[in-house]
Structure 1
Amino acid sequence: MLQPQWLRTFEALVELGNFTRAAEHLDLTQAAVSQHIKHLERRLGPLLLRQSRKLELTPAGHALLDYRREMQAAEQRLEQRLAGDDASQGELSLITPGSIGLAIYPHLLALQHEAPGLSIRHRFAPTAEVIEAVLENRAELGLATQRPEDPRLAVSLFAREPLELVVPAAAKVDGWEDLVRIGFIDHPDGHDMATRLLSRRFPGHPGVRHLPCRGFTNQIGLILAPVAQGLGFSVLPRFAREAFGAPEAIRVVDGAPEVMDSLWLLHRAEWPLSARADRALEWLTARLGSARAG
């Protein structure tokens, strides 16, 4: 095991650039600083190239410095998570799919402005990873597009969002032939979403796999960029479309029937939500309006 004092000595030496200043900063002798570095190098190999005027890190030295900083960040997160159950202090961790994530993240930032003591950790992930992260306590809250049946999870309906057919603002869409002419902008859920929506809007037509594909991106925030430039159409959830930064360049083709997706709120069933999580859910409920489930 690497002794914490050795790591503090190594970090100070790197930051201050020489043994004398590091020893003064740590209130140690230069001999003690040298001894700590020797202990580390015995375990890890050469960490420093001792040039005449400066110290240079070896690859192992860079790796150890990264490790030290990761450990400090982990300790800080632990302290935040173990802080008292204060709605205005500590860490709030959540994991969501991309579309709803785009919708709620600006609201979470607004909450953090109101409560600067909060540290919000928000990750985007597909449903399988969301469920896994909540079960393994890597996130307190999760949102999933499929309802899990695991008894360790408390599950409730969070919101419903329709799938939308989104085309360039000037595009004319009266029938399937227009979609063939415009072409499809695909994404990781593109074929599934387009199949579910287009099979209902345009029954009897051959399906999305027969449409010319004009492009693909796996970044939820970029799917509508080629659509806005007239390069194709796409099908995606409303929250993702509402978060797009150039709404004047795109248009939603209205029609019936609607295809609605449910978003499920997940957390561990064995213990109550933190005050921070309760506050965040109240905050989001007040701001998502009609999309929130009753």
Structure 2
Amino acid sequence: MLQPQWLRTFETVVELGNFTRAAERLDLTQAAVSQHIKHLETRLGPLLLRQPRQLELTPAGHALLDYQREMHAADQRLQQRLAGDDATQGDLSLITPGSIGLAIYPHLLALQGEAPGLTIRHRFGPTGEVIASVLDKRAEFGLATQQPEDSRLSVSLFAREALELVVPAGERVEGWADLVRLGFIDHPDGHDMATRLLSRCFPGNPGIGQLPCRGFTNQIGLILDPVAAGLGFSVLPRFARQAFARPEAIRVVEDLPRVMDSLWLLHRAEWPLTARATHAIEWLKNRL
């Protein structure tokens, strides 16, 4: 029988494409990772072709990877059956980007209030981390701002949210000159979001790079604080704006062309969502 740890090591090496990163992920030495792969290859024959910049699976390697995924799916189904798959009991793990995370978190607390037997573990992360966490089973499901193309994932549309131009409450924006006067409050997705929205609202403008930057923060919940203080404007998703605690201090510029972002629901395709996750997803959709 193949050792589960060897299989886990093999799967991680294939996922990351690198022995060193696999060792870091698994908290093993690189020598231990190499030894696990050697044990498997002694039993099954060559599994990996070691190219200078990449690893390539042999036919035996592909067969072993399929076997490992089937074992994961069977284990998940067994755990669900043993737990009774109660929608109101057990652990629920999810990961989301910041904007939608701010919007759903109060609803998750309300869900847990109605079902105290649930333990909800909600993490925030960018789309790359969301995908990796779901694939690595650190989260049962996630929400992503980009639609991944990975056969291991089940992907469906969860919601759509508009990008918004947000200014201090007392300000009016009638043209590009007003944005120059106000200045831009930037954030990690700021240039991309502002470019997509402002290119539609003010065609022919010099570009977001030509606007004075009045500040930057990488905390989604803090982006609108300097806007509320009158220090500039920003562009961000609607859910983040709706979660801001002082709506009277800001204003959304209305009657602009709409730019919509899609939010995608992800979970592993090999097994169904638990009753807990299915119930939570429906709970959230009904409240957004």
TM-score in terms of structure 1 length? 0.70
Query: What amino acid does structure 2 have at the position aligned with 1:229?
Result: A
In structure 2, C-alpha distance between the alignment counterparts of 1:253 and 1:271, rounded to whole Å: 44
Match of 2:194 in 1: 194
State yes or no: 1:121 paired with 2:121.
yes
- 2:245 matches 1:242: no
Alpha-carbon distance in 2 for matches of 1:199, 1:255: 15
Aligned CA distance change for structure 1 residues 219 and 81 (closer, same or farther; 3 Å): farther
Is the CA contact (8 Å cut-off) linking 1:179 and 1:211 kept in structure 2?
A: yes
Give the Cα separation in 2 of the matches to 1:80 and 1:180: 56
5+ unaligned residues in a row in structure 1: which ranges? 1-78, 289-294
Residues 80 and 274 of structure 2 are in contact (CA less than 8 Å); yes or no, is this contact kept in structure 1?
Answer: no
Q: Which consecutive unaligned segments of at least 5 residues does structure 2 have? A: 1-78
Q: How many Å separate the matches in 2 of 1:254 and 1:149? A: 35
- Within a 5 Å distance, the mapping from 1:17-166 to structure 2 comes to 83-166=83-166
Structure 2 partner of 1:57 = none
Cα deviation for residue 80 of structure 1 reads 11
How many residues in Structure 1 have an aligned counterpart in Structure 2?
Answer: 210
Distance 1:213 1:82, change over 3 A: farther
Give the Cα separation in 2 of the matches to 1:168 and 1:81. 53
Query: Contact between 1:97 and 1:124, CA under 8 Å: does it hold in 2?
Result: yes
Q: Distance in 2 between matches of 1:84 and 1:125?
A: 30
Aligned equivalents of 2:101, 2:83: Cα separation in 1:
26
The residue number in structure 2 matching 1:267 is 267
1:286 offset after TM fit, Å? 1.4
Q: State the distance in 2 between where 1:82 and 1:181 align.
A: 62
Q: Quick one: structure 1 residues 181 and 80, their matched pair in 2 at CA, closer, same or farther if it must change by over 3 Å?
A: farther
> How far apart are the structure 2 equivalents of 1:210 and 1:255?
24
Q: Tell me, yes or no, if the aligned pair for 2:163 and 2:193 is still in contact at 8 Å.
A: yes
Q: Secondary structure at the match of 2:239?
A: helix
> How far did 1:83 drift?
3.7
Cα distance change, pair 126–82 in 1 and its aligned pair in 2 (3 A)? farther
List structure 1 runs of 4+ shifted beyond 4 angstroms: 79-82
SS in 1 for 2:284: helix
Q: Is the 8 A contact 1:134 1:142 kept in 2?
A: yes
Residue number in structure 2 paired with 1:278: 278
Letter in 2 for 1:231: L
Distance in structure 2 (CA, Å) of the matches to 1:170 and 1:100: 27
2:190 partner letter = G
TM-score by length of 2: 0.71
> Which position in structure 2 is the counterpart of 1:256?
256
What is the match of residue 176 of structure 1? 176
Aligned to 2:63: none
Q: Encode CA deviations 1:31-58: one digit per residue, 9 max, x unaligned.
A: xxxxxxxxxxxxxxxxxxxxxxxxxxxx
Partner secondary structure for residue 287 of structure 1: coil
Provide the C-alpha distance between the structure 2 equivalents of 1:238 and 1:252, rounded to a whole number of angstroms.
Answer: 10
Separation (CA, whole Å) in 2 of partners of 1:269 and 1:107: 26
Q: Using the alignment, how far apart are the partners of 1:172 and 1:255 within structure 2? A: 12
Say whether the 8 Å CA contact 1:163–1:261 is kept in structure 2: yes
Contact persistence 1:80–1:90 (CA under 8 A):
no
User: What is the deviation of 1:285?
Assistant: 1.6
Residue 81 of structure 1 deviates from its aligned partner by 12
Say which one has the larger Rg.
1
Counterparts of 1:199 and 1:167 in 2: how far apart (Å)?
17
Contact kept in structure 2, 1:81 and 1:91, CA below 8 Å: no
Structure 2: distance between partners of 1:121 and 1:80: 18
1:167 counterpart residue number: 167
Q: 1:240 to 1:82 in 2, by over 3 A?
A: farther
Give the deviation of 1:84 after TM superposition: 3.3
Q: CA deviation at 1:82?
A: 7.1
Deviations 1:252-290 (A, max 9, x none): 0013321000000000000010010011011112111xx
Cα RMSD between the aligned structures?
Answer: 1.5
Q: Percent identity?
A: 80
Partner residue in 2 for 1:19: none
Q: Aligned partners of 1:95 and 1:223: how far apart in 2?
A: 21
**Counterpart code for 1:169:** A
